[in-house]
Amino acid sequence: MTIDPVDLTAALIRCPSVTPAEAGALVLLEDMLSEAGFVCTRVDRNGTPNLFARWGEKGANKSLGFNGHTDVVPIGDAAAWTKDPFGGEIEDGILWGRGATDMKSGVAAFVAAAVDFVIQTPPQGAIVIAITGDEEGDALDGTTALLDWMHANNESMTDCIVGEPTSLDTMGDMMKIGRRGSLTGFFTAHGKQGHAAYPHRANNPVPAMARLIDQLARHTLDEGTAHFDPSTLAVTTFDTGNPATNVIPAECKATVNIRFNDAHETHDLIAWFEAKAQKMSEETGVSITVETKVTGDSFVTPPGAFVDLVANSVAAETGVTPELSTSGGTSDARFVKNHCPVVEVGLVGKTMHQVDERVPVEQIQTLKNIYSRLIRDYFA
């Protein structure tokens, strides 16, 4: 049994699995993996589809894991697409469709590599494949559900690969050994509405909020760390919802987002938000409240045996030494890192989430070769 990763990617693209719809993608993978001898279990939670598959003994001393997702973002304007977004068409060596880059190709490449390996060279250990349908959505019942189920059922991975598109310009030029954390602060300044001609009879929340947001935006969070660039803070909204030019509003809202490195703990940043809001409230008499949302904490898998193994596999198959990066947004690696060491390596991600998402088929085959070498060397 040999799986062509390009054909499998195309078949997965033809499953219109816009998050959190399954649309046949996990059924296809489960059938294929079961035929190759993997023990498969659906781990659906709250309507979110998830698939766990293991080849080898439960609790093996050495268990290589793969985490990925088959859900995709919406296509946007269908008329703007050159090809059918769920057609999986190949033309001039390019595979088109939603999920071609992010990340049905990564799932297909690893599944193809894993099936080849367990049939040709059964490893002393286990291979675990954990696929979710909720990475592009709220991510509440996807990889977290799989990890919860694994913990409850004594399933484990000793190391894990996440197949997100990590390369920038050429195949293999970057892999992720960590990710920044993400914290959003929602600030609300509560004043007193009044006539703009009589400001002394009102309590304008806008200047107080403006001063606070300026202080946050001008603050230097850090200068960067060994594996991370400096943390950043971006102001994303500032609004009163006030259409009248002669009315002082009663309320003003602003939102900021911090992408932070391993110099910070989430609770310390939240405490900083709250302290700055409290101080401004005391100075201006305008009550400012804060709500926060944490998308993920920062983490890093330090360079060592596993990171070197992945990097060497990439270099051997591409001729490129990958940069060890922690840049970019969040991924489900932020959940996996609580279970075992995790590294992300995948395709060039230039067209992910775009209209006309596409990938050269050569990249998919190269990614399968990287994963094949990685699996072989891992169990050598």
The rounded distance, in Å, linking the Cα atoms of 83 and 89 is: 7
Rounded Cα distance between 246 and 17, Å, is 50
Q: What is the pLDDT of residue 375?
A: 97
Following DSSP, what letter does each residue of 71-138 receive, concatenated?
A: -B-----GGG-SS-TTT--EETTEEESTTTTTTHHHHHHHHHHHHHHHHHS--SSEEEEEEES-SSS-
Q: Whole-prediction pTM value?
A: 0.90
> Do 262 and 319 sit in the same domain of this protein?
no
Of the residues 251, 270, 296, which one is the last residue of a structural domain?
A: 296
Question: What is the reported pLDDT for 334?
Answer: 94
Q: Do 67 and 55 belong together in one domain?
A: yes
**Which residue in 22, 30, 71, 141 is the catalytic one?**
71
Report the Cα–Cα distance between both ends of the chain, in Å, rounded.
Answer: 22
Tens-digit pLDDT profile for residues 334-378: 999 999 999 999 999 999 999 999 999 999 999 999 999 999 999
The residue among 278, 296, 314 that closes a domain is 296
- 30/90 same-domain check: yes
Domain shared by 14 and 85, yes or no? yes
Taking every pair of Cα atoms in the chain, the longest distance, rounded to a whole number of angstroms, is: 83
Query: The domain spanning residue 47 has which CATH number?
Result: 3.40.630.10
- The pLDDT value given to residue 138: 85
Q: Are residues 284 and 364 in the same domain?
A: no
Which pLDDT score is estimated for 287? 98
C-alpha to C-alpha distance for 349 and 354, rounded to whole angstroms: 10
Short-list 177, 187, 190, CA closest to 301: 177
Show the domain range for 68: 5-179+298-378
pLDDT band at residue 304 using 50, 70 and 90 as cut-offs:
very high
Mark whether 156 and 11 lie in a shared domain. Answer: yes
Together in a domain, 170 and 29: yes
Helix axes 266-284, 205-218, angle to 10 degrees: 140
What percentage of the chain reaches a pLDDT higher than 90? 95
pLDDT confidence tier of residue 320, bands split at 50, 70 and 90: very high
Q: Is 251 a catalytic residue?
A: no
Q: Is 135 a catalytic residue?
A: yes
- Could you tell me the CATH number of the domain that includes residue 258? 3.30.70.360
Q: What is the pLDDT of residue 328?
A: 86
Collapse the DSSP code of 368 into the 3-class scheme (helix H, G, I; strand E, B; otherwise coil) and give the result.
Answer: helix
Q: Are residues 193 and 175 in the same domain?
A: no
What average pLDDT does the structure give for the chain?
A: 96
d(Cα 300, Cα 345) in Å, to the nearest integer?
Answer: 14
Shared domain check, 151 and 58: yes
Could you tell me if 162 and 149 lie in one domain? yes
Residues 163 and 16 grouped into a single domain? yes
**Are 155 and 11 within one domain?**
yes
Cα 138–Cα 143–Cα 259 angle in degrees, nearest 5 = 55
Name the domain boundary from 280, 296, 312: 296
Rounded CA-CA distance 163/181 in Å is 19
From the candidates 22, 102, 116, 135, which is the catalytic residue?
Answer: 135
pLDDT at residue 119 greater than cutoff 90: yes
User: DSSP 3-state assignment of 64?
Assistant: strand
**So what's the pLDDT on residue 115?**
97
